[in-house]
Amino acid sequence: MDLGVEGRRAILLASSRGLGRACAESIAREGAHVVVNGRTEADVHAAVAAIESAHGVVATAVVGDSTTTAIHDALLDACPEPDIVLLNGEGPPPTPFGQIDEDQWQAAVTQQLLGPLTFLQRVLPGMRERRWGRIVAVSSAMVKSPNPLMSLSHGTRLGLAGVLKGLSKQAVADNVTINQLLPERFDTDRQRQMAELVMTLRDISYEEARAEQEASIKAGRLGRADEFGDTFAFLCSDQAGYLSGQSIQLDGGSYEGLF
Amino acid sequence: MDLGVEGRRAILLASSRGLGRACAESIAREGAHVVVNGRTEADVHAAVAAIESAHGVVATAVVGDSTTTAIHDALLDACPEPDIVLLNGEGPPPTPFGQIDEDQWQAAVTQQLLGPLTFLQRVLPGMRERRWGRIVAVSSAMVKSPNPLMSLSHGTRLGLAGVLKGLSKQAVADNVTINQLLPERFDTDRQRQMAELVMTLRDISYEEARAEQEASIKAGRLGRADEFGDTFAFLCSDQAGYLSGQSIQLDGGSYEGLF
Amino acid sequence: MDLGVEGRRAILLASSRGLGRACAESIAREGAHVVVNGRTEADVHAAVAAIESAHGVVATAVVGDSTTTAIHDALLDACPEPDIVLLNGEGPPPTPFGQIDEDQWQAAVTQQLLGPLTFLQRVLPGMRERRWGRIVAVSSAMVKSPNPLMSLSHGTRLGLAGVLKGLSKQAVADNVTINQLLPERFDTDRQRQMAELVMTLRDISYEEARAEQEASIKAGRLGRADEFGDTFAFLCSDQAGYLSGQSIQLDGGSYEGLF
Amino acid sequence: MDLGVEGRRAILLASSRGLGRACAESIAREGAHVVVNGRTEADVHAAVAAIESAHGVVATAVVGDSTTTAIHDALLDACPEPDIVLLNGEGPPPTPFGQIDEDQWQAAVTQQLLGPLTFLQRVLPGMRERRWGRIVAVSSAMVKSPNPLMSLSHGTRLGLAGVLKGLSKQAVADNVTINQLLPERFDTDRQRQMAELVMTLRDISYEEARAEQEASIKAGRLGRADEFGDTFAFLCSDQAGYLSGQSIQLDGGSYEGLF
């Protein structure tokens, strides 16, 4: 299927590894030029090299924390007129509600809410003027099923969800779509680290910890990062211009609710 | 993007025209063989001929009402082991609640609820045994925003939504996904007929009636059937196996709600 | 709290036992006259006697299946101008999807969808004319979390939910509210029968079966019928006239979803 | 209806005027002692005097900004073991997304998210230990229908909604319920000020501005503060202990969505 994005320009926040990297791969495979971002220089450069070599597009590295104005500047220097933006970033750690302190709240607010929104303030007007844009935010399946250990996550990600939904109602008139992907348990470093943590804490084997992760998903397996990347690519396609304001769960069918 | 469905077999209910036809075109373009169904012989045969000629797949015609056991038999004779099923059918007319009689309720129940479900009873076990299946139902954006004039529609479509969601929780373990697409105002015969109706009733021009339809959508335009078809094709892709139990609105960003 | 319903007239479908009976008790305690309905003559008459004696209101018995036109006639003979209507009825049994036959579907459609709706067609216009009405339907918590064994239940109850929501948008202009209560595991005969069933099937004690029921609810206990009845009474109060179109879960906080 | 809260102790944030005041009145009428809070000394003292005189309960004044640690201290000095807590506060002004600056975001985060949550960290453990608690937050109907002009509101209130939902799943085991009320257009000072603003901006009469407000609500009128207060009181009742984790719209039936 031709997604109609050849030659489009994409900025992908936090895309050197994991789900963000998979999004960069998928959209580059479809012919879009990409700006890859991450905090670890080696990872970013490795991603850029791999993407350029595999897909023959221009890939640009921007190393640094994507919630800061300095990195927003650098990203827009590298790509002043993005057609596609991926809002992504590392999630906060599980923390019991009673133990969350002011600094942790503020860090989560910056990371998951204000960082993405201040970047959006800079790119959305141009997309609307140029009358083509695709914005996709990586949220979490938990925003629709809040977990008491993850207050830092849904306490900020839901705010982002609300702002994006509100903005989507206006932006779609200019062929700028805004959607969210809500992942649950993909086979990335994060789940591997969590399995190692569980292995240590509960004195079980790595294989047992992984088996528990798989059993927690109705599909009986973890998601593959390329499945995530290709869904992102589809949402960025030219033919997805009528699909906006949606929050799509990629969770192996695990969500219990009707809608 | 390679959707990985070459050689797959698809049965598409009510697919000779409109959105169903667009789904048949998109999935055939990706290499799937299709069974095309509709109640008007000429339309079905025209669709079959066009699809075979354009996409080089096998297209088979089954003419008749897809809510009947006889047509379920014929569809499964034509394709005993479908990988992909589109549940689609004509919607009921707007009717004030107080005027709906028993016969209209029963017709809507058969058309939107029992017809699709009895067909599903016949195809779901085989898909699960073969461990690959993609089921997509065409519902309506209105199921999430019920309109008092459309009781016949959401009074039955919501039941279907609930049953499909329940079944999706089990089927995904066998790599069978079940999703819904919720369209609003696509540029098909149905919207053209509705514009003509409005034109007559209110003594305005066809162009004015169309302009009102477009203005009712936040995107400022109607959807194109091929946009619908390509979304269907993506949901049927091999890489969409982790995406199940979702109801995705294709409505030009018009839905007001957060989720 | 004065609910402002003294002297109001209420028709309560399926109210001789369980949750329906509790609704009748609560609203009668607040001074409303009630029509009690059920299929077992002795139960209905016992309820009527108890309510009249405890609350000093007029209670009228209508014995028979509340989904039939004959009983609709009898209910409206007993109370031609109801201010309050409870839509309630027995739910269908759990049944695996593949085993549901046409007769079971039709019975569920009649019981949960068409029965209540045809009664509503007869009472709603008068309520709107008289500019005061409170309609409450007893649904199930499962409509928001569909369970594959309960297709007969949410396959019909969700249709009812949709029609009621649509109608609520118009009726509220005439001070007629329409809401739903979504119970999960109340301490009524139904849960006791289910515990006995589980006791037999799995060879555990009744106390163990009950303990499992309680553990399945986040509150760690079953609901009390009077808690349900008082919530119904509040929704029927004069001061609840601005609260309409809502589906309120009474489930001991068990629903996982955000909204 | 006896709500079973006589002698209970309630802390109500931002309760000297408007909806918060109505909540204080309703719960005091049912016999609960109240701590009234607000930023304007005269308003708080007037409320305290009126409540004590009308309802014969103890009402205590705490003047100051309820998002600060100092006022949290003062509230808990006045009532160290609250049974009932109302989380309420003034909402942010409408602001176009592109014009929101860092300071406005931070103010909204403090006001709607961190203020209430840090207070909750202090009261929730005690309620759970004492095994009786009722927490109600005043949110906004807009959190379920995000409006692009209100990013500051739902960008923070939705985070609160998520955290409260997560916490509710644990707290209900100790008979502590957590619910939200989502008001839309009540006849308080806020709506009167908005009518005056519209009157000036658009050069229409006050009556016309009010008529537009009323027409925007499906009930055809604004809500009355006492309707809000009584719903709050019901959620705080002893018999509402099985009702938790819900977000109930008080919007004159205006919300379009099914759930």
Please report residues of D whose CB lies closer than 8 A to that of C246.
248-249
- Closest CB from D143, D158, D256 relative to B256: D256
- Closest CB from C231, C233, C244 relative to D253: C244
Q: How far does the CA of residue D73 sit from the closest CA of chain A (Å)?
A: 17
| Reported confidence tier of residue A190, pLDDT bands at 50, 70, 90 | confident
DSSP string over D97-160: GGG--HHHHHHHIIIIIIHHHHHHHHHHHHHHHHT-EEEEEE--GGGGS--GGGHHHHHHHHHH
Mean pLDDT, residues A187-214 taken together: 92
Give the mean pLDDT of chain A.
97
The token duo for C196 is 């006995």
Reported as a single tens digit per residue, the pLDDT across A70-87 is: 999 999 999 999 999 999
Distance CA A143, CA A256 (A): 13
Reported as a single tens digit per residue, the pLDDT across C30-40 is: 999 999 999 99
Reported as a single tens digit per residue, the pLDDT across D227-245 is: 999 999 999 999 999 999 9
Torsion angles phi and psi, residue A109, rounded to 5: -60, -45
Please report residues of D whose CB lies closer than 8 A to that of A97.
121, 124, 163, 166-167
The token duo for D47 is 């409320």
Distance CA B222, CA B219 (A): 8
B155 contacts chain C (CB < 8 A): yes
Q: How far does the CA of residue A64 sit from the closest CA of chain B (Å)?
A: 31
A227 contacts chain B (CB < 8 A): yes
D179 and D213 both lie in a single domain: no
Q: Do the Cβ atoms of B234 and A168 come within 8 Å?
A: no
Q: How far does the CA of residue D229 sit from the closest CA of chain B (Å)?
A: 26
pLDDT value of position A170:
98
pLDDT value of position A156:
98
Enumerate residues 6+ apart whose C-beta is below 8 A from D33: D7, D8, D9, D10, D57, D58, D59, D60, D79
Q: Are D180 and D249 in contact (CB under 8 A)?
A: no
Q: Do the Cβ atoms of A150 and D166 come within 8 Å?
A: yes
B254 contacts chain D (CB < 8 A): no
C115 and C176 both lie in a single domain: yes
- Amino acid, single-letter form, for residue B125: P
B139 and B162 both lie in a single domain: yes
B84 and B194 both lie in a single domain: no
Is residue B33, in this structure, part of any structural domain at all? yes
Please report residues of B whose CB lies closer than 8 A to that of A241.
219, 227
Is residue C36, in this structure, part of any structural domain at all? yes
- Closest CB from A98, A167, A169 relative to D121: A98
Mean pLDDT, residues C189-209 taken together: 91
- Amino acid, single-letter form, for residue B93: P
pLDDT value of position B190:
87
Q: Are B83 and B49 in contact (CB under 8 A)?
A: no
Question: What HEC string does chain C produce?
Answer: CCCCCCCCEEEECCCCCHHHHHHHHHHHHCCCEEEEEECCHHHHHHHHHHHHHHHCCCEEEEECCCCCHHHHHHHHHHCCCCCEEEECCCCCCCCCHHHCCHHHHHHHHHHHHHHHHHHHHHHHHHHHHHCCEEEEEECCHHHHCCCHHHHHHHHHHHHHHHHHHHHHHHHHHHCEEEEEEEECCECCHHHHHHHHHHHHHHCCCHHHHHHHHHHCCCCCCCECHHHHHHHHHHHCCHHHCCCCCCEEEECCCCCCCCC
Distance CA A147, CA A17 (A): 26
| Reported confidence tier of residue A232, pLDDT bands at 50, 70, 90 | very high
3-state secondary structure of B135: strand
Is residue B51, in this structure, part of any structural domain at all? yes
Interface list for B 118-147 with D (CB within 8 A):
143-146
| Reported confidence tier of residue B131, pLDDT bands at 50, 70, 90 | very high
Is residue C4, in this structure, part of any structural domain at all? no
Instruction: Determine what percent of chain B is predicted with pLDDT higher than 90.
Output: 95
- DSSP letter for A66, please: T
- Closest CB from B1, B242, B249 relative to A3: B1
A256 contacts chain B (CB < 8 A): yes
Distance CA C43, CA C47 (A): 6
A208 and A232 both lie in a single domain: no
pLDDT value of position D244:
98
- Amino acid, single-letter form, for residue A155: G
C97 and C112 both lie in a single domain: yes
| Reported confidence tier of residue C113, pLDDT bands at 50, 70, 90 | very high
Q: What is the ipTM of this complex?
A: 0.97
Enumerate residues 6+ apart whose C-beta is below 8 A from A108: A92, A152, A153, A155, A156
pLDDT value of position D190:
87
3-state secondary structure of D255: coil
| Reported confidence tier of residue A28, pLDDT bands at 50, 70, 90 | very high
Q: Do the Cβ atoms of D154 and A159 come within 8 Å?
A: yes
Residue B74 maps to which CATH number?
Answer: 3.40.50.720
Torsion angles phi and psi, residue A100, rounded to 5: -70, 125
C168 and C51 both lie in a single domain: yes
C172 and C209 both lie in a single domain: no
Q: Which residues pair with A87 in a beta bridge?
A: A137
**C131 Ramachandran zone, left/alpha/beta (phi>0; psi -120 to 50):** left
Mean pLDDT, residues B34-49 taken together: 98
B149 and B48 both lie in a single domain: yes
Distance CA C119, CA C71 (A): 10
Q: Do the Cβ atoms of A148 and D162 come within 8 Å?
A: no
Please report residues of D whose CB lies closer than 8 A to that of A111.
none
Question: B107: how many CB neighbours lie within 10 A of its CB?
Answer: 15
Strand B84-87 relative to strand B9-12, pairing: parallel
The token duo for A7 is 């030659």
Instruction: Determine what percent of chain B is predicted with pLDDT higher than 70.
Output: 100
Give the mean pLDDT of chain C.
97
The token duo for D77 is 């000095």
Is residue D45, in this structure, part of any structural domain at all? yes
pTM higher than 0.80 for the full model? yes
- Count of domains forming chain C: 2
The residue among B68, B87, B109, B117 with the most chain C CBs within 10 A of its CB, best to mutate, is B109
A103 contacts chain C (CB < 8 A): no
B191 contacts chain A (CB < 8 A): no
C98 and C200 both lie in a single domain: no
D86 and D32 both lie in a single domain: yes
Distance CA C156, CA B157 (A): 10
User: Which chains form contacts with chain A, at 3 or more CB pairs under 8 Å?
Assistant: B, C, D
- Amino acid, single-letter form, for residue A259: F
- Closest CB from D146, D158, D256 relative to B145: D256
Is residue D257, in this structure, part of any structural domain at all? no
- Closest CB from D1, D226, D259 relative to C247: D259
Q: D249 vs C60, C96, D246, CA distance in Å?
A: 34, 36, 10
Mean pLDDT, residues A213-220 taken together: 97
pLDDT value of position C65:
98
B189-202 and B206-215 helices, crossing angle to 10°: 120
C161 contacts chain B (CB < 8 A): yes
pLDDT value of position A183:
98
* Least confident segment among A197-201, A226-230, C235-239, D135-139: A197-201
Domain span including residue A204: 187-222
Q: How many helices (H) and strands (E) does chain A have?
A: 9, 7
Q: Are B6 and B30 in contact (CB under 8 A)?
A: yes
Mean pLDDT, residues A168-186 taken together: 98
Distance CA C107, CA C68 (A): 12
Is residue B2, in this structure, part of any structural domain at all? no
D147 and D198 both lie in a single domain: no
Torsion angles phi and psi, residue B5, rounded to 5: -115, 10
3-state secondary structure of A70: helix
Q: Are D236 and D134 in contact (CB under 8 A)?
A: yes
Is residue A176, in this structure, part of any structural domain at all? yes
Distance CA A228, CA D107 (A): 36
